Amino acid sequence: MKNKAKLLTYPYIVWMGLFIILPVLLVFLYSITFNEINNIKTISFTINNYKMFFTPVYIQVTLRSIYLAALSTIICLALGYPIAMIIANSKMTSKSILLLLFILPMWMNMLLRTYAWMTILGNNGLINTLLANLGLPTLNLLYNNGAVILGMVYNFIPFMVLPIYTTLSKMDNSLIEVSEDLGANKVQTFIKVIFPLSLPGVISGIIMVFMPAVSSFVIPKLLGGGKDALIGTLIEKLFSLGDWNFGSAVSIVMMFIILLSMAVMNRFDVDKEGGAGLW
Amino acid sequence: MKKKIIELKNITKNFNDETVLDNINLYVNENEFVTLLGPSGCGKTTTLRIIGGFETPTEGNLFFDGKIINDIPPYKRQINTVFQKYALFPHLNVFENIAFGLKIKKLKKSEITYKVNKILKLVGLENFCNRDINSLSGGQQQRIAIARALVNEPKVLLLDEPLGALDLKLRKEMQIELKNMQKRIGITFVYVTHDQEEALTMSDTVAILNEGVIQQIGTPVDIYNEPKNAFVANFIGESNIIDGIMLDDYKVMFCNKVFTCVDKGFSKDENIDVVIRPEDLVITDENKGLLKGVIKSVIFKGVHYEMLVNAEDFEFMVHSTLKFPLGSNVGLTLTPEDIHIMKKSNN
C-alpha cells in the first residue's frame, strides 16, 4: 500500500524536476558563466554578473522596485481590508454578488486591463479630455510612478481581499461576542480580537501582492513608460537584448529577495496558516 | 424581601416571522441560581442571549436592577457570559485571556496580576498563566472560560450549556464545583442546559421551556413532584403518561379501571393526562395487583432494572431493584399519591 502510494508520486517528481528544478539550475548556471553554455568544453565560470549587479545603478533599480511594490502592497492592504470586512459581514445573497464583482475583472486578460488604464490616463485619454472640455488644465497622469502604483493596486487587490475575506469569514463569531461581553466596544474588539486573528490572511495577502508586484514588468512598461527601470523590466530587457547571463543573475537575485521577504513574513505568521506557511 | 436583579416582561422574539420566544415572563433574584431547561430549539439559548445583549427582544422589556436595558450593548452590561464552546481567544495565553476584560477597564498592571492569580486559584489552575490555550484539556478550557467571565466580578453570570462538551464524570464534578463557586462568591447564575439532572442538581429555581413558551417555573423538588403538565412530567425524569377521564373529585378512570387519587377540581368527565413515575409502580403477584400485565422487556440500568409491563394495552415503564423474568404474568400496584393528574395541554 505504502509502496503503491509512493509510485504515484513519481510522475510529479519527474514533472517538478523537468519543469521547475532543471530550469532554475539552468538559470543559475547562466548567471555564473560567460556567454553560451551549449558547449560544455568552452564553459567558463565567473561571478562578474553578480558583481555587476551590485553597482549603484542596479541597486537603485532594485530599491525602486521594492519601494513601488511595498507601497502598492500597503495601499492594497489599506483598501482591501475594509472591503474584505464589508464582504464578510454582508448577507449571504449579497456576499456572493460582491465576491463575484471582485473576481470578475480577474477573468479578463491583464494586458487588456492595463491598456484600458492607458486610455483612461493618457494625454488624450478619458480624464484629460474631460478636464479639457471643462476648461481645466490637463494633467500628466501616465508614465510616472503614480500610474504604476495605480496599475499594480488595481491588478493585485483581489489577491489581498480574498485571503483576508477567507480568514474573516472563517472566524468564530462567538469570539467577537466574548470580546463585547468582556467590555470591549467595536473598535477595541477590532484591535484586540478581529485584526490579530485575521493576521494569517493579511500575511498571505501581503505575500500574494508583493511577489507579483516586485517582479511585474507589463504594468511598469505600459503605465510607467519604461522610463525608470524596475527589476521586472530590466530582466525582460536583458533577455530580449540577448544578455542571458546577466539577466539570469538578476533573476536569481530577485528570487532571493522574494524568498527573504517570505521568510520575514513567516516570522509574523504564528499559526502558519498563511501562504508563508508554504516555506 | 429578595431583590429582583433581572426581569423579563412579556418578551417575544421573532426570527424571520418565526416566533422563537412567546411572551416570556421570568425574574431572577439576586444570588439565585436559575436554570433554563428545555430540549434543543426551545428558545433557552435565545433567552440567555437576550439577557446578555446579543439579541434584542422583538417585544417586551428586559429589566436589570429595575431599569430597562433592551438597547444597552453587551459591553455596557454588568453581565458576563460563559459561552457554549468556551470561545477562548486562540491568539492569547491563559493569563491574557483572563486579563482581557480587566485590560479593557484599564486596571493597574499589579491589580490585574493579583486578580488573575486569585481567580486561577479559585478554579484550581494556578501556575497555568503562560500556558497556550490549545495545550489545555476540555475541562481546563472550561475553567478558564469561567475564570475569564468571573474575574470581571459581574453581577450576573450567564452560562450557556457550559458543561455540554465534557465527559460524564468531569461534568458531575464540575456541576458540584460550579454550585460551590456560586455559593462562595455569591453572584447570580443564569444557567442554560438540556440536561434535566444537571438542572435539578444545581439550581435554586428551574424554568422549563418548550417551543418558546415557559411551561413551569419552580424549585427542583416542586417541578419533579408536581409537574404542571405532561411535557414537564416527561422531560423531568421518566414518566408513564396515560389518557384518562376524571370521573369525579378524587376519582379517575384509566386503563378501563377506576382509581382513587388525590386530585380534585376538574370538571366532570374531563379528559386528562395521568402521569405515573416508573419508580412509583410496584410489581406484585398477578392476583394482588390493581392491574394485570406481562413483562415485555428487562434492561439492567445499574442501580435498578427498567422493565416494560404491558397491561390493558398500555406499556408501563417500571423501575425496580428486583428483577422479574421476561414474559411472566405480574400485577402492578400504586398508591393514590402516585397518580398525578394533569390538564390536557392545548396542542
A44 contact B CB<8A: no
- In this structure, are residues A245 and A31 in contact, taking their beta carbons and an 8 Å threshold? yes
Least Cα distance to B137 among B179, B185, B174 occurs for B174
A92 touching B, CB under 8 A?
A: no
Residue B1 has pLDDT above 80, yes or no: no
Residue A31 pLDDT > 60: yes
**In sequence order, what are the beta bridge partners of B291?**
B332
**pLDDT class of B144 with cuts at 50, 70, 90:** very high
| ipTM given for this complex | 0.78
CB contact, 8 Å: A268 with chain B? no
User: Does residue A162 lie in a domain region?
Assistant: yes
Residues 6+ apart with CB under 8 A from B309: B281, B283, B293, B294, B295, B296, B315, B316, B318, B330, B332
| Half-sphere exposure at residue B154, Cβ-oriented, CA atoms within 13 angstroms | 30
Confidence of residue A39 (pLDDT cuts 50, 70, 90): low
Residue of A nearest to B91 (CA): A197
CB of A181 within 8 Å of a chain B CB? The answer is: yes
Q: What is the mean pLDDT of chain A?
A: 86
- Find, among B18, B110, B23, the residue nearest to B59 by Cα: B23
Residue burial B35-48, b: 16+ Cβ < 10 Å; e: rest: bbbbeeebbbbbbb
In a domain, A98, yes or no: yes
Per-residue pLDDT band at A104 (split at 50, 70, 90): confident
Q: Comparing C-alpha atoms, which of B200, B189, B201 is closest to residue B223?
A: B200
CB contact under 8 A, B152 and A185: no
Nearest to B54 among A177, A185, A193 (CB): A177
What is the reported pLDDT for B307? 92
Tell me the percentage of chain B whose pLDDT exceeds 90: 42
The set of cell numbers assigned to A164 is 483576508
Strand partners, A56: none
Q: B253 to chain A nearest CA, in Å?
A: 53
| Position A269 confidence tier, pLDDT thresholds 50, 70, 90 | low
Contact A179 B54 (CB under 8 A): no
- pLDDT, average across residues B146-166: 89
Q: Which residues of A touch B52 (CB under 8 A)?
A: 181
A167-199: pLDDT as tens digits: 999 998 899 999 999 999 999 999 999 999 999
Instruction: Tell me, yes or no, if A264 comes closer than 8 A to chain B by beta carbon.
Output: no
Residue to substitute from B100, B119, B158, interface A, most A β-carbons within 10 A: B100
Give dist(CA A263, CA A257) in Å, integer. Answer: 10
What is the extent of the structural domain holding A267?
49-278
Which residue, among B91, B156, B160, would best test binding to A if mutated, counting the most A CBs under 10 Å from its CB? B91
Q: Would the CB atoms of A174 and B104 count as touching at under 8 Å? A: no
Residue B8 pLDDT greater than 60, yes or no: yes
- What residues of chain A lie within 8 A of the CB of B85, using their CB? 172, 174
Q: Is B127 left (phi over 0), alpha (psi -120 to 50) or beta?
A: left
Chain B closest-CA separation from residue A98 CA (Å):
24
In chain B, which residues touch A (CB < 8 A)? 52-54, 73-75, 79-81, 83-85, 87, 89-91, 100-101, 104-105, 148-149, 152
Task: Using a CB–CB cutoff of 8 Å, tell me whether A172 touches chain B.
Answer: yes
Whole-angstrom Cα distance, residue A279 to residue A268?
A: 13
**Structural domains in chain B plus CATH codes:** 4-230 (3.40.50.300), 238-343 (2.40.50.140)
- Would residue A25 count as lying in a domain? no
Beta-carbon separation of A178 and B52 below 8 A? no
Reduced 3-state DSSP string for chain B: CCCEEEEEEEEEEEECCEEEEEEEEEEEECCCEEEEECCCCCCHHHHHHHHHCCCCCCEEEEEECCEECCCCCHHHCCEEEECCCCCCCCCCEHHHHHHHHHHHCCCCHHHHHHHHHHHHHHCCCCCCCCCEHHHCCHHHHHHHHHHHHHCCCCCEEEEECCCCCCCHHHHHHHHHHHHHHHHHHCCEEEEEECCHHHHHHHCCEEEEEECCEEEEEECHHHHHHCCCCHHHHHHCCCCEEEEEEEEECCEEEECCEEEECCCCCCCCCEEEEEEECCCCCEEECCCCCCEEEEEEEEEECCCCEEEEEEECCEEEEEEECCCCCCCCEEEEECCHHHCEEEECCCC
Looking at the domain assignment, is residue A27 inside a domain? Answer: no
Say how many domains are in chain A.
Answer: 1
SS3 A33: strand
Q: Determine contact: A197 vs chain B, CB below 8 A.
A: yes
A272 — pLDDT class (breaks 50, 70, 90): very low
pLDDT tens digit string along B284-321?
A: 888 888 888 999 999 998 889 999 999 888 889 999 99
Q: Which residue type occupies B289?
A: G
In terms of CA atoms, which chain A residue is nearest residue B55? Answer: A177
Q: Give the one of A172, A192, A196 whose C-beta lies nearest to B87's C-beta.
A: A172
Backbone angles phi, psi at B264, to 5 degrees: -150, 180
Residue A119 lies in a domain: yes
Encoded amino acid at A88, one letter: A
Question: What is the chain B residue with the closest CA to A174?
Answer: B87
If residue A36 lies in a helix (H) or strand (E), which one and from where to where? none
The pLDDT of B87-102, averaged and rounded, is 93
- Cα–Cα dist A277/A255, whole Å: 17
Q: What is the CA radius of gyration of chain A?
A: 23
Work out how many CB contacts closer than 8 A connect A with B. 61
Q: Is A124 on the interface with B (CB under 8 A)?
A: no
Chain mean position to CA B339: 24
CA B207/CA B309 separation, integer angstroms: 32
**Residues comprising chain A, all counted:** 279
- The pLDDT of residue A224 is 84
Contact A175 B75 (CB under 8 A): no
Asked if residue A202 belongs to a domain, the reply is yes
CATH of the domain at A253: 1.10.3720.10
Which residues partner with B245 through β-bridges?
B253, B271
pLDDT of residue A103: 82
A234 part of a folded domain: yes
Q: What's the gap in Å between the CA of A83 and the closest CA on chain B?
A: 24
Q: From the candidates A181, A186, A187, which should be mutated to test the interface with B, based on the most B CB atoms within 10 A?
A: A181
C-alpha cell recorded at residue A68: 513601488
The answer to whether A177 contacts B104, with C-beta atoms less than 8 Å apart, is: no
Rounded mean pLDDT of A79-103? 89
Is B83 close to A174, i.e. CB distance below 8 A?
A: yes
Check pLDDT > 90 for residue B114. yes
Neighbouring C-beta atoms of residue A13, cutoff 10 Å: 10
Q: Determine contact, residues A49/A245, Cβ cutoff 8 Å.
A: yes
CA distance B27 to B9: 8
The x, y and z cell numbers of residue B263, run together, are: 386530585
Distance of CA A143 to the CA centre of its chain: 20
Interface test with B, best of A177, A178, A269 (most B CBs within 10 A): A178
**Range B13-31 burial, b when 16+ CB lie within 10 A, else e:** beeeeeebbbebebbbbeb
CB contact under 8 A, B73 and A180: yes
Q: How confident is the model at residue B206 (pLDDT cuts 50, 70, 90)?
A: very high
How far B197 CA lies from chain A's nearest CA (Å)? 27
Q: Do A178 and B105 touch (CB under 8 A)?
A: no
Q: Is B5 left (phi over 0), alpha (psi -120 to 50) or beta?
A: alpha
CA B262 vs CA A269, B224, B340: distances in Å:
71, 17, 8
Q: Give me the phi and psi of B169, to 5 degrees please.
A: -65, -45
Which pLDDT tens digit goes with each residue over B60-74?
Answer: 999 999 899 988 999
The DSSP symbol for A136 reads P
pLDDT of res. A126: 86
Paired strand residues for A74: none
- In this structure, what are the phi and psi dihedrals at residue A138, rounded to the nearest 5 degrees? -80, 160
- β-strands B340-343, B270-276 pairing: antiparallel
Nearest to A196 among B52, B91, B104 (CB): B91
- Look at A77-81, A138-142, B321-325 and tell me which has the smallest mean pLDDT: A138-142
Q: Which residue of B has its CA nearest to A197?
A: B91
Residue A250 has pLDDT above 80, yes or no: yes
Residues A175, B54: C-beta atoms closer than 8 Å:
no
The answer to whether B151 and B140 are in contact (CB under 8 A) is no
